[in-house]
């Protein structure tokens, strides 16, 4: 997993509330167990019409936001079913951080496991960030995980809270496998002892 330390990127404004996991990645695309390739179908029912043509006024189809790495969203982002494909699709598109007033718990935790930072801020801060995001590609937001701050293109900064363990994992690029591999020497020692103590196993 890639380390997340500092991000300077375009932020897409998505003021909708209750953006659920089926909106993020519709169930028809859940047949794969690969984390790659889902970005093209991110927000599929909002991005494309029934003929598969892009809907021009959807934010991620606008030229200014095609390279967005941050989403500033309405309340309760990632609600609905617990599908991990939702953060997979966001990450595959290129989204590295989502900022909202609240997240569904399972989605929130899945973000960290997939190298993405979900940031919770009060509504007053979201209002400022949403306006900044509406400026388009010329306005780049800064997310500093070490300092735990989000800064607008005009330099206004907001502090956010994040669990120390989850922060450690993102800063060091550690998913569940990476965390396990931190103890590889202890695992090797255990397996070596086990072969001697239980050669029949």
Instruction: Give residue-wise pLDDT tens across range 59-104.
Output: 999 999 999 999 999 999 999 988 899 999 999 999 999 999 999 9
Contacts 24+ apart (CB under 8 A), 28-35: 29/85, 29/89, 30/83, 30/85, 32/85, 35/88, 35/91, 35/92, 35/114
Q: What is the third-level CATH fold of 6-197?
A: Aconitase; domain 4 (3.20.19)
Instruction: Give residue-wise pLDDT tens across range 120-174.
Output: 999 999 999 999 999 999 889 999 999 999 999 999 999 999 999 999 999 999 8
Q: pLDDT-based confidence at 38, cuts 50/70/90?
A: very high
Q: pLDDT-based confidence at 108, cuts 50/70/90?
A: very high
Task: Give the C-alpha separation, 58 to 183, whole Å.
Answer: 46
Q: pLDDT-based confidence at 179, cuts 50/70/90?
A: low
From the number of C-beta atoms within 10 Å of its C-beta (0-12, 13-18, 19+), residue 101 rates as middle
Task: Give the C-alpha separation, 152 to 138, whole Å.
Answer: 12
User: Could you tell me if 104 and 76 are in contact, meaning their C-beta atoms sit under 8 angstroms apart?
Assistant: yes
Residue 185 has pLDDT above 70, yes or no: no
Question: Which pLDDT value is given to residue 200?
Answer: 75
What's the order of all strands across the beta sheet hosting 6-14?
Answer: 117-120, 97-100, 70-73, 6-14, 140-144, 149-151, 157-159
Of residues 129, 73, 149, 150, the one with CA closest to residue 104: 73
Residue 181 has pLDDT above 80, yes or no: no
Query: Using the 8-state DSSP alphabet, how is residue 60 labeled?
Result: G
Spans of all domains in the chain: 6-197
């Amino acid at each position: 997993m890639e380390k997340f330390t500092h991000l300077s990127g375009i932020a897409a404004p998505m003021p909708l509330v209750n953006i659920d996991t089926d909106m993020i990645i519709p169930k028809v695309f859940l047949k794969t167990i690969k984390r790659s390739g889902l970005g093209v179908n991110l927000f599929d029912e909002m991005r494309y019409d029934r003929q598969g043509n892009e809907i021009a006024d959807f934010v991620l189809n606008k030229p200014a936001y095609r390279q967005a790495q941050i989403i500033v969203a309405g309340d309760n982002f990632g609600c609905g079913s617990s599908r991990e494909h939702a953060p997979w699709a966001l990450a595959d598109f290129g989204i590295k951080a989502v900022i909202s007033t609240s997240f569904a718990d399972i989605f929130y935790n899945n973000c960290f496991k997939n190298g993405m930072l979900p940031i919770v801020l009060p509504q007053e801060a979201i209002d400022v960030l949403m306006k900044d995001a509406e400026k388009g590609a010329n306005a780049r937001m800064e997310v500093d995980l070490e300092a735990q701050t989000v800064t607008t293109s005009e330099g206004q900064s907001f502090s956010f809270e994040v669990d120390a363990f989850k922060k450690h994992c993102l800063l060091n690029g550690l998913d569940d496998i990476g965390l396990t591999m931190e103890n590889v020497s202890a695992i090797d020692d255990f397996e070596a002892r086990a072969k001697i103590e239980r050669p029949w196993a």
